[in-house]
Amino acid sequence: MLENAGSSIKSLIKLAIKSKSSTISTVATSADSMIIMGNGPSLNETIAQYGNLLREVPTLAVNFAANAPQFRDLSPRYYLLADPHFFVNVSDANVAKLKDNLMAVDWQMTLFLPFEARKYGFAIENPYIKIEYFNFLAVEGYEWLENWAYSSGRGMPRPRNVLIPSIMVAMKMGYGNVYITGADHSWTKTLSVNENNEVVSIQPHFYKEDEKEEQRIKVDYLKYPLHQIIHSFHVAFKSYHSIQRYAMHKGVNIYNSTPGSFIDAFTRRSLSECK
Protein backbone atom coordinates (compact mmCIF):
# COMPACT_ATOMS: atom_id res chain seq x y z
CA MET A 1 0.00 0.00 0.00
CA LEU A 2 2.75 2.42 0.95
CA GLU A 3 4.72 1.43 -2.15
CA ASN A 4 1.73 2.23 -4.33
CA ALA A 5 1.28 5.56 -2.59
CA GLY A 6 4.93 6.50 -3.13
CA SER A 7 4.87 5.42 -6.79
CA SER A 8 1.64 7.31 -7.36
CA ILE A 9 3.03 10.53 -5.89
CA LYS A 10 6.15 10.28 -8.05
CA SER A 11 4.03 9.60 -11.11
CA LEU A 12 1.71 12.52 -10.42
CA ILE A 13 4.70 14.85 -10.17
CA LYS A 14 6.10 13.58 -13.48
CA LEU A 15 2.69 13.89 -15.11
CA ALA A 16 2.34 17.48 -13.93
CA ILE A 17 5.82 18.48 -15.11
CA LYS A 18 6.48 16.45 -18.24
CA SER A 19 3.28 15.04 -19.71
CA LYS A 20 1.59 16.62 -22.72
CA SER A 21 -1.72 16.04 -24.44
CA SER A 22 -1.34 12.99 -26.67
CA THR A 23 -1.79 13.53 -30.42
CA ILE A 24 -2.55 9.86 -31.17
CA SER A 25 -5.69 9.59 -33.32
CA THR A 26 -8.39 6.97 -32.83
CA VAL A 27 -8.58 5.18 -36.18
CA ALA A 28 -9.82 1.68 -35.36
CA THR A 29 -12.47 -0.24 -33.44
CA SER A 30 -12.47 -3.16 -31.03
CA ALA A 31 -13.08 -5.49 -33.98
CA ASP A 32 -9.94 -4.40 -35.81
CA SER A 33 -6.54 -6.09 -35.68
CA MET A 34 -3.00 -4.79 -35.89
CA ILE A 35 0.26 -6.70 -36.14
CA ILE A 36 3.33 -5.28 -34.40
CA MET A 37 6.56 -6.39 -36.04
CA GLY A 38 9.42 -6.45 -33.59
CA ASN A 39 12.92 -6.82 -34.99
CA GLY A 40 13.75 -10.18 -33.40
CA PRO A 41 15.26 -12.98 -35.56
CA SER A 42 12.00 -14.96 -35.59
CA LEU A 43 10.43 -12.27 -37.79
CA ASN A 44 12.14 -13.88 -40.79
CA GLU A 45 10.16 -17.05 -40.16
CA THR A 46 6.97 -15.03 -39.72
CA ILE A 47 7.53 -13.11 -42.97
CA ALA A 48 8.20 -16.34 -44.88
CA GLN A 49 5.03 -17.97 -43.56
CA TYR A 50 2.66 -15.01 -43.33
CA GLY A 51 4.01 -12.47 -45.81
CA ASN A 52 0.64 -12.02 -47.55
CA LEU A 53 -1.12 -11.44 -44.24
CA LEU A 54 1.48 -8.85 -43.22
CA ARG A 55 0.73 -6.97 -46.43
CA GLU A 56 -3.03 -7.05 -45.83
CA VAL A 57 -3.43 -6.37 -42.11
CA PRO A 58 -2.23 -3.03 -40.66
CA THR A 59 1.31 -3.48 -39.35
CA LEU A 60 3.62 -1.39 -37.19
CA ALA A 61 7.39 -1.50 -37.64
CA VAL A 62 10.03 -0.21 -35.22
CA ASN A 63 13.60 1.04 -34.87
CA PHE A 64 15.88 0.18 -37.79
CA ALA A 65 13.31 -1.91 -39.69
CA ALA A 66 13.28 0.67 -42.51
CA ASN A 67 16.90 -0.27 -43.22
CA ALA A 68 15.95 -3.90 -43.86
CA PRO A 69 15.47 -5.14 -47.45
CA GLN A 70 11.93 -6.39 -46.61
CA PHE A 71 10.72 -2.93 -45.58
CA ARG A 72 9.33 -1.67 -48.88
CA ASP A 73 7.77 -5.02 -49.71
CA LEU A 74 5.84 -5.09 -46.42
CA SER A 75 5.02 -1.36 -46.52
CA PRO A 76 3.92 -1.03 -42.88
CA ARG A 77 1.10 1.40 -42.18
CA TYR A 78 2.66 2.51 -38.91
CA TYR A 79 6.20 3.08 -37.64
CA LEU A 80 7.43 3.92 -34.15
CA LEU A 81 10.73 5.24 -32.81
CA ALA A 82 11.40 5.72 -29.10
CA ASP A 83 15.11 5.41 -28.29
CA PRO A 84 16.78 8.85 -27.90
CA HIS A 85 19.63 7.50 -30.03
CA PHE A 86 17.55 8.17 -33.14
CA PHE A 87 17.12 11.84 -32.28
CA VAL A 88 20.40 12.72 -30.59
CA ASN A 89 22.83 10.89 -32.89
CA VAL A 90 21.63 12.05 -36.30
CA SER A 91 25.21 11.85 -37.59
CA ASP A 92 25.18 8.08 -37.03
CA ALA A 93 25.34 6.47 -40.49
CA ASN A 94 22.60 3.98 -39.64
CA VAL A 95 20.31 6.73 -38.36
CA ALA A 96 21.01 8.76 -41.49
CA LYS A 97 20.14 5.72 -43.63
CA LEU A 98 16.94 5.23 -41.62
CA LYS A 99 15.88 8.83 -42.25
CA ASP A 100 16.66 8.48 -45.97
CA ASN A 101 14.56 5.32 -46.20
CA LEU A 102 11.66 6.98 -44.39
CA MET A 103 11.96 9.97 -46.70
CA ALA A 104 11.59 7.53 -49.63
CA VAL A 105 8.31 6.06 -48.35
CA ASP A 106 5.65 6.41 -51.05
CA TRP A 107 2.63 4.94 -49.25
CA GLN A 108 0.50 6.39 -46.48
CA MET A 109 2.22 5.91 -43.13
CA THR A 110 1.90 7.28 -39.62
CA LEU A 111 5.16 7.77 -37.74
CA PHE A 112 4.91 7.83 -33.95
CA LEU A 113 7.57 9.74 -32.03
CA PRO A 114 8.01 10.68 -28.37
CA PHE A 115 7.48 14.38 -27.65
CA GLU A 116 11.20 14.59 -26.80
CA ALA A 117 12.04 14.14 -30.49
CA ARG A 118 10.80 17.67 -31.17
CA LYS A 119 13.30 19.04 -28.67
CA TYR A 120 16.11 17.70 -30.85
CA GLY A 121 14.55 18.96 -34.06
CA PHE A 122 14.01 15.48 -35.46
CA ALA A 123 11.64 15.56 -38.43
CA ILE A 124 10.76 13.57 -41.52
CA GLU A 125 9.47 15.81 -44.29
CA ASN A 126 7.53 13.42 -46.47
CA PRO A 127 3.96 14.14 -47.68
CA TYR A 128 3.12 10.44 -47.31
CA ILE A 129 4.06 10.39 -43.62
CA LYS A 130 1.91 11.79 -40.85
CA ILE A 131 3.70 12.31 -37.53
CA GLU A 132 1.94 11.84 -34.19
CA TYR A 133 3.47 12.17 -30.73
CA PHE A 134 3.22 10.12 -27.55
CA ASN A 135 4.38 10.57 -23.96
CA PHE A 136 7.40 8.35 -23.35
CA LEU A 137 6.70 8.61 -19.63
CA ALA A 138 6.52 5.86 -17.01
CA VAL A 139 3.49 5.89 -14.73
CA GLU A 140 3.15 3.46 -11.82
CA GLY A 141 0.98 3.36 -8.73
CA TYR A 142 -2.67 2.90 -7.94
CA GLU A 143 -4.67 1.15 -10.64
CA TRP A 144 -7.04 4.10 -11.07
CA LEU A 145 -4.06 6.36 -11.76
CA GLU A 146 -2.48 3.93 -14.19
CA ASN A 147 -5.78 3.41 -15.99
CA TRP A 148 -6.32 7.14 -16.38
CA ALA A 149 -2.75 7.83 -17.53
CA TYR A 150 -2.72 4.95 -20.01
CA SER A 151 -6.19 5.68 -21.39
CA SER A 152 -5.48 9.39 -21.86
CA GLY A 153 -2.06 8.72 -23.37
CA ARG A 154 -0.41 10.78 -20.66
CA GLY A 155 1.85 7.91 -19.65
CA MET A 156 2.53 4.18 -19.95
CA PRO A 157 4.13 1.28 -18.07
CA ARG A 158 7.89 1.76 -17.72
CA PRO A 159 9.00 1.92 -21.38
CA ARG A 160 12.12 -0.20 -21.17
CA ASN A 161 12.01 -0.98 -24.90
CA VAL A 162 10.21 0.01 -28.09
CA LEU A 163 7.62 -2.78 -27.90
CA ILE A 164 6.02 -1.23 -24.80
CA PRO A 165 5.06 2.11 -26.41
CA SER A 166 4.13 0.23 -29.59
CA ILE A 167 1.48 -1.83 -27.80
CA MET A 168 0.22 1.21 -25.88
CA VAL A 169 -0.07 3.27 -29.06
CA ALA A 170 -1.94 0.41 -30.80
CA MET A 171 -4.49 0.38 -27.98
CA LYS A 172 -4.72 4.18 -27.96
CA MET A 173 -5.60 4.06 -31.67
CA GLY A 174 -8.52 1.81 -30.81
CA TYR A 175 -7.32 -1.58 -32.06
CA GLY A 176 -9.04 -4.34 -30.12
CA ASN A 177 -6.75 -7.17 -31.25
CA VAL A 178 -3.00 -6.65 -31.16
CA TYR A 179 -0.72 -9.40 -32.45
CA ILE A 180 2.97 -9.31 -31.51
CA THR A 181 5.59 -10.82 -33.80
CA GLY A 182 9.39 -10.64 -33.84
CA ALA A 183 9.48 -10.25 -30.04
CA ASP A 184 11.83 -13.10 -29.17
CA HIS A 185 13.19 -11.39 -26.04
CA SER A 186 15.52 -14.36 -25.52
CA TRP A 187 18.35 -12.09 -24.37
CA THR A 188 19.40 -14.35 -21.50
CA LYS A 189 20.45 -17.01 -24.01
CA THR A 190 23.25 -14.80 -25.29
CA LEU A 191 24.21 -13.05 -22.05
CA SER A 192 27.71 -13.69 -20.68
CA VAL A 193 30.62 -12.07 -18.83
CA ASN A 194 34.12 -12.14 -20.29
CA GLU A 195 37.48 -12.40 -18.48
CA ASN A 196 37.60 -8.62 -18.11
CA ASN A 197 34.30 -8.68 -16.17
CA GLU A 198 32.58 -7.03 -19.11
CA VAL A 199 29.02 -8.00 -19.89
CA VAL A 200 28.55 -9.36 -23.41
CA SER A 201 25.08 -9.53 -24.92
CA ILE A 202 24.35 -10.51 -28.51
CA GLN A 203 20.97 -9.23 -29.66
CA PRO A 204 20.34 -10.57 -33.18
CA HIS A 205 17.67 -9.06 -35.42
CA PHE A 206 15.75 -10.41 -38.40
CA TYR A 207 18.10 -8.45 -40.66
CA LYS A 208 21.90 -8.57 -40.74
CA GLU A 209 23.22 -6.01 -38.31
CA ASP A 210 25.57 -3.32 -39.56
CA GLU A 211 29.06 -3.70 -38.01
CA LYS A 212 29.02 -0.14 -36.65
CA GLU A 213 25.67 -0.73 -34.97
CA GLU A 214 26.92 -4.00 -33.47
CA GLN A 215 29.91 -2.13 -32.06
CA ARG A 216 27.72 0.65 -30.67
CA ILE A 217 25.52 -1.85 -28.82
CA LYS A 218 28.58 -3.69 -27.53
CA VAL A 219 30.10 -0.47 -26.17
CA ASP A 220 26.76 0.49 -24.57
CA TYR A 221 26.66 -2.77 -22.66
CA LEU A 222 30.18 -2.24 -21.34
CA LYS A 223 28.85 0.70 -19.32
CA TYR A 224 26.70 -1.48 -17.08
CA PRO A 225 27.35 -4.27 -14.56
CA LEU A 226 25.42 -7.51 -14.90
CA HIS A 227 22.92 -6.79 -12.11
CA GLN A 228 21.79 -3.58 -13.82
CA ILE A 229 21.30 -5.33 -17.14
CA ILE A 230 19.31 -8.15 -15.54
CA HIS A 231 17.23 -5.56 -13.71
CA SER A 232 16.44 -3.87 -17.02
CA PHE A 233 15.12 -7.23 -18.25
CA HIS A 234 13.00 -7.40 -15.10
CA VAL A 235 11.57 -3.94 -15.81
CA ALA A 236 10.58 -4.90 -19.36
CA PHE A 237 8.89 -8.18 -18.47
CA LYS A 238 7.09 -6.56 -15.54
CA SER A 239 5.80 -3.82 -17.84
CA TYR A 240 4.21 -6.44 -20.08
CA HIS A 241 2.19 -7.69 -17.14
CA SER A 242 1.09 -4.12 -16.43
CA ILE A 243 0.02 -3.81 -20.06
CA GLN A 244 -1.90 -7.08 -19.87
CA ARG A 245 -3.75 -5.93 -16.74
CA TYR A 246 -4.72 -2.69 -18.47
CA ALA A 247 -5.69 -4.50 -21.70
CA MET A 248 -8.07 -6.74 -19.76
CA HIS A 249 -9.53 -3.62 -18.12
CA LYS A 250 -10.13 -2.14 -21.60
CA GLY A 251 -11.34 -5.37 -23.20
CA VAL A 252 -8.40 -5.47 -25.61
CA ASN A 253 -6.85 -8.76 -26.73
CA ILE A 254 -3.06 -8.87 -26.91
CA TYR A 255 -1.69 -12.00 -28.53
CA ASN A 256 1.93 -13.12 -28.61
CA SER A 257 2.46 -14.71 -32.03
CA THR A 258 6.25 -14.90 -31.74
CA PRO A 259 7.65 -18.46 -31.89
CA GLY A 260 9.81 -19.18 -28.85
CA SER A 261 9.19 -15.78 -27.24
CA PHE A 262 10.22 -15.33 -23.61
CA ILE A 263 7.34 -12.92 -22.91
CA ASP A 264 5.00 -14.64 -20.47
CA ALA A 265 2.32 -11.96 -20.03
CA PHE A 266 0.19 -12.39 -23.15
CA THR A 267 -1.92 -15.22 -24.55
CA ARG A 268 -0.13 -17.21 -27.23
CA ARG A 269 -1.98 -17.28 -30.52
CA SER A 270 -0.96 -18.21 -34.03
CA LEU A 271 -0.90 -15.41 -36.58
CA SER A 272 -3.06 -17.66 -38.76
CA GLU A 273 -6.00 -16.65 -36.54
CA CYS A 274 -5.52 -12.95 -37.26
CA LYS A 275 -8.24 -11.46 -39.45
Beta bridge partners of 193: 199
The pLDDT mean for the chain works out to 92
Q: Please provide the DSSP assignment of 226-272 as one string.
A: HHHHHHHHHHHHHHHHHHHHHHHHHT-EEEE--TT----SSEE--GG
CB-facing half-sphere around the CA of 216: CA atoms within 13 A: 12
CA dist 15 and 12 (Å) reads 5
Instruction: Confirm if 243 and 160 have CB atoms less than 8 A apart.
Output: no
Nearest to 243 by CA among 234, 233, 252: 252
pLDDT value, residue 188:
85
Answer whether residue 1 shows pLDDT above 70: no
> For residue 275, which amino acid is it?
K
pLDDT value, residue 223:
77
Number of residues written out for the chain: 275
Return the SS3 of 51: helix
pLDDT value, residue 182:
96
CA dist 72 and 109 (Å) reads 12
pLDDT value, residue 89:
78
* Average pLDDT of the segment spanning 247-262: 97
Instruction: Confirm if 160 and 235 have CB atoms less than 8 A apart.
Output: yes
Using the 8-state DSSP alphabet, how is residue 22 labeled? Answer: -
| Structural domain spans, the chain | 2-273
- Per-residue pLDDT of 104-160, as tens digits, reads 999 999 999 999 999 998 989 999 999 999 999 999 999 999 999 999 999 999 999
* CA geometry: angle 268, 273, 275, nearest 5 deg: 130
